[in-house]
Amino acid sequence: MDAKPKLLSVLDVVTGVLMAAATLAVFFYAPTERVMGAVQKVFYFHVAAGWVGMLGFLAALAAGVAYLRTHDAKWDIIGLAGVEIGMAFMLINIVTGSIWARPIWGAWWTWDPRLTTATIMELAYAAYLMLRQGIEEPDRRARFGAVYAIVAFISVPMTFLSIRIFRTIHPVVIGNGGDVPGAEGGFSMTPKMTQVFMFSLITWSVLFVDIFWHRIRLGKLANRVEQLKLKLGGRTA
């Protein structure tokens, strides 16, 4: 059992303080947008969550490649951690986007390329978790996880592109260009908004590192327990 590193404890505190500060900044420092009103403030954490969600999936891709090259169990732990955290943050991104879209675009859901791609990603990584669940042998589970993390990530840009072309040829269904951000629901950021936006991005990146670290430690613990189980199981059998 390894003790919690001091740096991690410090990081926990820093993350907590930053999150509190960013939340206060969003609610009290950032100005209210003239047309959209209060809901525009969802934007700060919405984008930040999407950004760190992508970081998680990117980490899983990199870990997948590294695992196939080295066959070091450490990369498997990192890959799984990346997918899990990516899914949690991407979920925040999708749901907050939907909440924002209801008053601004007039519908909870539109087939906007970004929204649709994010949701397909979420489904692909849910498939990743199901694949892992279906395999008992640790080594094979790690290899298949790595392969699927790579395949899933590669398809993402093409999915986005296909929906993008689809939209430009297809007539726009809702409003007049209502689901193309920038056409409606777009806004220009004031300096104060930019400051809060940048601060949110930094804060969420720190949050990401902190949670990622904790998740990796959990993964290592889970591996040790699995090894112990195999060892004891082998002896009694």
Partner 1 sequence: MEETLNTMSYLIAGYAVIFGVTLGYIVSLIVRTHNLRQDEGLLLSLDQGEDEG
Partner 2 sequence: MKPFLRTMGAIVWKDLAAEWRSREMISGMLVFALLVVFIFNFALELSPATRSSVTAGVLWVTFAFAGTLGLNRSMAAEKDRGCLDGLLLAPVDRTALYFGKMLSNLVFMLAVAVIVMPVYSVLYTVNLMQPGLWAVVALGSLGYVSVGTLLASMAVQARTRDILLPILLFPVLIPLLVAAVKASSGFLQAIPMEEIWPWLNLMIVYDVVFISTAFMVFEAVVEE
Using CB under 8 A, pick the residue from 159, 195, 205, 223 that binds partner 2. Answer: 159
Is residue 219 helix, strand or coil? Answer: helix
Q: How far apart are CA 76 and CA 2, in angstroms?
A: 20
Q: Is 66 in the site for partner 1 (CB under 8 A)?
A: no
Q: What contacts 80, CB < 8 A, 6 or more positions away? A: 60, 132, 145, 219
Binding mask 98-137 for partner 1 (x = CB under 8 A): -xx-xx----------------------------------
Closest CA to 108 of 59, 174, 50: 174
Q: Give the one residue of 165, 198, 222, 225 binding partner 2; rule: CB under 8 A.
A: 165
Establish if 218 lies at the interface with partner 1 (CB under 8 A). yes
* Residue 199 binds: one of partner 1, partner 2, none (C-beta under 5 to 8 A by kind): none
Q: Which is nearer to partner 2, 80 or 163 (CB)?
A: 163
Q: 23: which residues sit within 8 A by CB, 6+ positions away?
A: none
CB of 163: closest distance to partner 2 in angstroms?
A: 7
Query: What is the residue whose two structure tokens read 């303080």?
Result: 17
DSSP alpha helix (H) spans, the chain: 6-24, 42-70, 73-105, 113-133, 138-169, 191-236
Q: How far is the CB of 115 from partner 2 (least distance, A)?
A: 14
Tokens of 96: 């907050």
By CB under 8 A, residue 235 contacts partner 1 = yes
Contact between 112 and 166 (Cβ < 8 Å): no
Q: Is 91 in the site for partner 2 (CB under 8 A)?
A: no
Residue 32 within binding range of partner 1, rule CB under 8 A: yes
Rounded to a whole number of angstroms, the minimum distance from the CB of residue 118 to partner 1 is 14
CB 18 within 8 A of CB 207: yes
49 is an interface residue for partner 1 by CB under 8 A? yes
The whole-angstrom separation of Cα 162 and Cα 147 is 23
Residue numbers of the site for partner 2 (CB under 8 A)?
A: 68, 120-121, 123-124, 126-127, 130-131, 133-136, 140, 143-144, 146-148, 150-152, 154-155, 158-159, 161-163, 165-166, 169
